[in-house]
Amino acid sequence: SYVDTINKKEDKIDAFLLLKTDEALQKAKEIDEKVAKGEKLGRLAGIPIAIKDNICTHGVRTTCASKMLEYFVPPYDATVIKKLQAEDAILIGKTNLDEFAMGSSTENSAMKVTKNPIDITRVPGGSSGGSAAAVGSEMVPLALGSDTGGSIRQPASFCGIVGMKPTYGLVSRFGLVAFGSSLDQIGPFSMNVEDNAYLLNIIAGEDDLDCTTKKGLEKVDYTKELGQDISGMKIGIPKEFIEEKGLDSEIKDIVLKDLEALKELGCEVEEFSLPSTKDGLAPYYIISSAEASSNLARFNSVSYGYRAKDYTSVDDMIEKSRSEGFGKEVKRRIMLGTYALSSGYYDAYYNKAQKFRTKLKDEFKEAFKKYDIILGPVSPILPFKIGERCEDPTAMYLADIYTININLATVPALSMPGGKSKEGLPVGIQLIGDTFSEDKIYKVAYQLE
């Protein structure tokens, strides 16, 4: 039935860069046969799942929606892919994204523009717009995305679905094409909270192939506390979130309405201050671009990736290949990052941003001594029209204000549907928790759903 939906809707939505529906049907048949024989099957047996195209899949093209990797076929699987396969999931396709996950609308893809399933004249958000649109249009029940500064949560909000950015170090990044290595996390998209928690159960955990995964973590079942009473839990709402100048009044009303709903569920709700959050954008764009400039240095056209046709020397080959292979936004970030890291500017930008990050982390740490969950908006603006914001990158960056601080602080946050605008556009709300408290986030989210 999912293949039927894909055949019906994909032409309009353009969520996928690659579809493997024939293989998927074949795999489903094999699973049916195993069921008939009474064989033991994995926890995702027969479930189709879409994968953001910056997650490496062995033998299956992984492009990062970039001309640079248009024909790149990874010789290995990301750890998350191995885990899905071990549970008999069906990988049905690779989804569109902003090139190398840089953007908030999926319009920076070098391949195609994905449409919002609620209103196809609007963007699905980004950078994981393809994965969010695939789930939002019910072409798949589950998908994976990556989130460096909001790329799971903001598209989940724009497409009216659930998306989790786990604690940094909970999910292995092995095989995720790196953007900002100290910020990147892979996470699940789903139609509802329970499915989301179920998928996180499968992809979470320490990995010898990623030394930044947390060691010695106790295995948590994220579905275990779903349905339990949340009365007495403490919810904080930062006044900076509500006072933000750019916040759309409809979105503000929805967040406040959901806060009331939490009160009715018996939670203690309180306004407090997280002063640094209003200043996070500049440090985020410095740190993420600095890391990107270093990570993307590997794409030199020597051993793999796009290579320009005419060149006169090795240097010329590298320069031309990078000039032609990378899109505008990616080049902007590489230049920004290289500048911030260059001697003479390092202390003024990169070091200062790192100091800010430490201060921000401390503020979150303090807040979580008092609150179980911090509530807020995901995006200050509603899903916008395709093309509307392309010419103004700074305006696009400003709309990341509610998501980027979470990655800088390394804490987990879930985006879930919070309500609808008058026009019927989905509005997500964000539930932020302390590091490794995803179980608490899901418990509260389940009650709000």
CB of 328 to ligand GLN, least distance (A): 13
Cβ neighbours around 75 below 10 Å, total: 8
Among 62, 148, 167, 410, binds ligand GLN (CB under 6 A): 148
Please name which of 290, 293, 288, 285 lies closest in space to residue 398, comparing C-alpha atoms. Answer: 285
Q: ∠ CA 419-424-427 to the nearest 5 degrees?
A: 35
Q: Which residue is nearest to ligand GLN (CB)?
A: 151
CB of 345 to ligand GLN, least distance (A): 20
With binding defined as CB under 6 A, does residue 105 bind ligand GLN? no
With binding defined as CB under 6 A, does residue 54 bind ligand GLN? no
Among 104, 172, 293, 430, binds ligand GLN (CB under 6 A): 104
Cβ neighbours around 93 below 10 Å, total: 27
Map the footprint of ligand GLN across residues 160-189, applying CB under 6 A. Answer: 179
Map the footprint of ligand GLN across residues 67-96, applying CB under 6 A. Answer: none
Distance CA 280, CA 276 (A): 7
Alpha-carbon torsion 44, 60, 111, 388, what sign?
A: positive
Tell how far CA 290 is from the center of its chain.
19
Among 74, 149, 327, 376, binds ligand GLN (CB under 6 A): 149
CB of 79 to ligand GLN, least distance (A): 19
Distance CA 222, CA 220 (A): 6
Map the footprint of ligand GLN across residues 206-245, applying CB under 6 A. Answer: none
Among 46, 74, 93, 103, binds ligand GLN (CB under 6 A): 103
Strands 185-190 and 142-147: antiparallel
CB of 289 to ligand GLN, least distance (A): 8
Q: Give the interface segment with ligand GLN, choosing from 66-74, 146-154, 191-199, 364-372 (CB under 6 A).
A: 146-154
Output 69 or 448, the one with its CB closest to ligand GLN.
69
DSSP run (H or E) holding 256: helix 249-264
Catalytic pick among 105, 137, 151, 379: 151
Alpha-carbon torsion 10, 11, 17, 22, what sign?
A: positive
Which DSSP letter does residue 296 get? G
Buried-exposed string 125-163: b where 16+ CB fall within 10 A, e elsewhere: bbbbbbbbbbbbbebbbbbbbbbbbbbbbbbbbbbbbbb
In three-state form (DSSP H/G/I as H, E/B as E, the rest C), the secondary structure along 76-139 is CCCHHHHHHHHCCCEEEEEECCCHHHCCCCCCCCCCCCCCECCECCECCCCCCHHHHHHHHCCC
In the residue annotation, 52 being an active-site residue is answered as yes
Among 21, 63, 106, 127, binds ligand GLN (CB under 6 A): 127
DSSP run (H or E) holding 432: strand 426-432
With binding defined as CB under 6 A, does residue 55 bind ligand GLN? no
How many chain residues are in contact with ligand GLN, going by CB under 6 A? 13
Catalytic pick among 20, 27, 52, 443: 52
CB of 362 to ligand GLN, least distance (A): 23
Output 179 or 356, the one with its CB closest to ligand GLN.
179
In the residue annotation, 151 being an active-site residue is answered as yes
With binding defined as CB under 6 A, does residue 400 bind ligand GLN? yes
CB of 288 to ligand GLN, least distance (A): 5
With binding defined as CB under 6 A, does residue 101 bind ligand GLN? yes
Among 19, 49, 102, 203, binds ligand GLN (CB under 6 A): 102
Cβ contact 208:164 at 8 Å: no
Tell how far CA 415 is from the center of its chain.
10
Cβ neighbours around 37 below 10 Å, total: 7
CB of 99 to ligand GLN, least distance (A): 10
With binding defined as CB under 6 A, does residue 288 bind ligand GLN? yes
Output 179 or 350, the one with its CB closest to ligand GLN.
179
Distance CA 160, CA 170 (A): 25
CB of 426 to ligand GLN, least distance (A): 18
Q: Give the interface segment with ligand GLN, choosing from 45-53, 79-87, 88-96, 149-157 (CB under 6 A).
A: 149-157
Q: Give the interface segment with ligand GLN, choosing from 41-49, 142-150, 216-224, 317-325 (CB under 6 A).
A: 142-150
Output 145 or 418, the one with its CB closest to ligand GLN.
145
Long-range contacts of 252-257 (CB under 8 A, 24+ apart): 252/377, 254/418, 254/419, 254/427, 254/429, 255/375, 255/376, 255/377, 255/418, 255/429, 257/418, 257/419
DSSP string, 182-199: TT-EEEEEESSHHHHHHH
With binding defined as CB under 6 A, does residue 151 bind ligand GLN? yes
CB of 292 to ligand GLN, least distance (A): 9
Distance CA 325, CA 319 (A): 10
> Which residues bind to ligand GLN, rule: CB under 6 A?
101-104, 127, 147-151, 179, 288, 400
Q: Which residues are catalytic?
A: 52, 127, 151
